[in-house]
Structures are given as structure tokens and as C-alpha cells.
């Protein structure tokens, strides 16, 4: 009798501790890891905080519409795995997901997500730069978190060329996300400061030109994720 009475509050306390860890401690740890990496390598990480789970949900919703057996998926720039988690959740038997991340300190977190997903045999984690990745087969969907507008223009040109020639299947879907209106606002700002910092303007113009020539004559859909610091635009491009 006594034992049952005592074990109830103990269980409630354990539940509370578990919820507190999942809702408060883990996200704060994730935030701190990501922020440290941003301070260390701002142009590689490209964001102050990881994306919100609402981004992963928006991408997963779109992914569900791609009806095909044995899909091959590639995520580039997985960070702390906010999107990865939801992509794994969407995997059907026979699908496979390759995950690319180049920052070694982010790998243990991604490894833990994959190992605890129950679908680890369908996921391969690659610790390398996308530039050094040469897959044997192309992908049905490529999801990129790369902060391309922070990259040197030559790296952006090389990325789009690799995407078209080496990564994406003929009818494949390319999904990427960027802060809502940020590229346009940056371009306005750099245009105004063009006389003081001409390089910034030229670099961004080259990057946007490369992106626009990739998008030209392709079927493009977009979605807005408002619950994120700051809101994001998710773009899906049919190859
Ligand atoms: C803006 S963060 C996105 C992280 C995560 N997907 C999210 O939404 O929170 C960009 C990620 O791309 C990775 N990255 C940057 N350049 C890369 C490259 N050349 N190859 C592979 N990953 C890269 C960074 O390490 C970082 O984790």
C-alpha cells in the first residue's frame, strides 16, 4: 500500500524532470552548441540559432507529396539536426537518407539523433564538405541548409553546377531555405553602401545572379515559416 503511495509522487517528479530536460535543457544546450560554432565560423554556420522545428515540419509536409518507392534523399548542412529529425521520421521502408555536415563538433548530436531514431539503417552520416562528396547515384530530393549567400561567389557557382550535374536526378526536387526577404534587404543595403564597400555589392550580385539563373525556367514553389528567429522562406525547385 505504502509503496504505491510513495511511488506516485516519485513518478510525477521523474516525469517532470524528463519533460524539463526535453523542453528546456536540451534546446538550450543545442542553442549554445550552435551559437558557439557561429562565433567560431560565422560564414560556415551562417545563422545565430538553429532553425525551429516548424521548418522541418514544412519540409516534411512537402516531402509527403513526393510519392515514389525507394526514395534517395540528401540533406546538406544538417547543423544540430532540427530538420534531419523530421526527415528521418518521414522515411518509408526502402527510402535512404544521406546527411552531410562539415563541422566536427556537430557530428555527435547528429549521430545521437540517427541512433535513437529506430531507422538508423536507412540513414548515413557523412562528416565532410559537400565539395568533397561524390555519390555513386543521384538523389530524388536534395534539402540544403547551406548559407550560400555567405559563401564566396565561386563556391556558389560550383555548388549549383554540382547540384545539377552530380546530385539531383532529372525530375528531382531541390529544397532550400533562407531568411524571409533577407537577400533582397542585403542587396538594398549594399547598393546604398556601394561606394564605401563595392566588394560586398559585387559578391552578393554574383551570388543572386547564379541562383536566379539556376531557378530560370524551373518550376518553383515556396512556403513561409513564420515561427522561426527570423521567419524563413522555404523554396522547392523541380529540376
Ligand atoms: C544555416 S546552418 C543550418 C543548420 C540546420 N539545417 C538548421 O536549419 O538549423 C548551415 C549548416 O551548413 C553547414 N555547412 C556550411 N558549409 C558547408 C559545406 N561546404 N559542406 C557541408 N556543410 C556545410 C554548417 O556547418 C551548418 O551546420
What is the band of 156 on the pLDDT scale with cuts at 50, 70, 90?
very high
CA of 231 to the centre of ligand 1 (A): 18
Q: Tell me the best of 38, 47, 79 to mutate to test the pocket of ligand 1, counting ligand atoms within 8 Å of each CB and taking the most.
A: 79
Q: Check whether 132 has a pLDDT greater than 90.
A: yes
Tens digits of residue pLDDT in 89-126: 999 999 999 999 999 999 999 999 999 999 999 999 99
Q: If DSSP codes are grouped into helix, strand and coil, which group holds residue 236?
A: strand
CATH architecture of 52-238: 3-Layer(aba) Sandwich (3.40)
Residue-averaged pLDDT of the chain: 90
Q: Hey, what's the cell of 198?
A: 563595392
Q: Tell me the best of 43, 44, 235 to mutate to test the pocket of ligand 1, counting ligand atoms within 8 Å of each CB and taking the most.
A: 44
148 C-beta closer than 6 A to ligand 1:
no
Least confident of 16-30, 34-48, 54-68, 87-101: 16-30
pLDDT at 4: 56
Tens digits of residue pLDDT in 164-200: 999 999 999 999 999 887 878 888 888 888 878 888 8
Rounded to 5 degrees, what are φ and ψ at 143?
-115, 120
Indicate the domain borders of the chain.
2-40, 52-238
pLDDT at 1: 46
The residue among 142 and 11 whose pLDDT is bigger is 142
CA of 158 to the centre of ligand 1 (A): 16
CA angle in degrees (0–180, nearest 5) for 152-153-156: 95
The upper half-sphere exposure of residue 220, i.e. CA atoms within 13 Å in the direction of its Cβ, equals: 14
pLDDT at 5: 58
What is the pTM assigned to this prediction?
A: 0.87
pLDDT at 6: 65
Q: Tell me the best of 142, 145, 160 to mutate to test the pocket of ligand 1, counting ligand atoms within 8 Å of each CB and taking the most.
A: 145
pLDDT at 29: 82
CA of 100 to the centre of ligand 1 (A): 8
Amino acid at each position: 500500500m505504502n509503496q504505491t503511495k510513495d511511488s506516485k509522487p516519485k513518478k510525477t517528479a521523474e516525469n517532470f524532470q524528463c519533460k524539463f530536460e526535453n523542453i528546456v535543457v536540451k534546446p538550450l544546450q543545442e542553442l549554445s552548441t550552435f551559437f558557439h560554432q557561429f562565433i567560431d565560423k560565422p560564414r560556415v554556420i551562417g545563422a545565430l540559432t538553429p532553425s525551429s522545428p516548424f521548418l522541418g515540419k514544412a519540409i516534411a509536409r512537402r516531402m509527403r507529396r513526393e510519392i515514389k518507392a525507394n526514395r534517395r534523399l540528401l540533406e546538406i548542412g544538417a547543423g544540430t539536426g532540427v530538420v534531419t529529425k523530421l526527415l528521418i521520421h518521414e522515411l518509408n521502408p526502402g527510402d535512404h537518407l544521406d546527411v552531410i555536415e562539415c563541422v566536427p563538433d556537430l557530428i555527435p548530436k547528429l549521430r545521437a539523433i540517427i541512433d535513437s531514431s529506430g531507422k538508423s539503417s536507412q540513414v548515413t552520416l557523412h562528416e565532410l564538405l559537400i565539395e568533397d562528396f561524390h555519390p555513386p547515384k543521384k538523389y530524388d530530393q536534395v534539402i540544403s541548409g547551406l548559407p550560400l549567400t555567405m559563401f564566396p561567389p565561386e563556391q556558389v557557382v560550383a555548388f549549383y553546377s554540382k547540384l545539377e550535374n552530380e546530385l539531383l536526378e532529372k525530375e528531382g526536387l531541390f529544397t532550400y531555405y533562407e531568411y524571409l526577404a533577407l537577400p533582397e534587404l542585403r542587396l538594398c543595403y549594399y547598393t546604398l553602401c556601394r561606394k564605401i564597400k563595392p566588394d560586398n555589392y559585387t559578391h552578393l550580385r554574383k551570388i543572386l545572379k547564379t541562383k536566379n539563373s539556376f531557378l530560370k525556367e524551373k518550376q518553383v514553389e515556396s512556403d513561409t515559416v513564420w515561427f522561426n528567429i527570423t521567419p524563413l522562406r522555404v523554396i522547392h525547385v523541380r529540376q
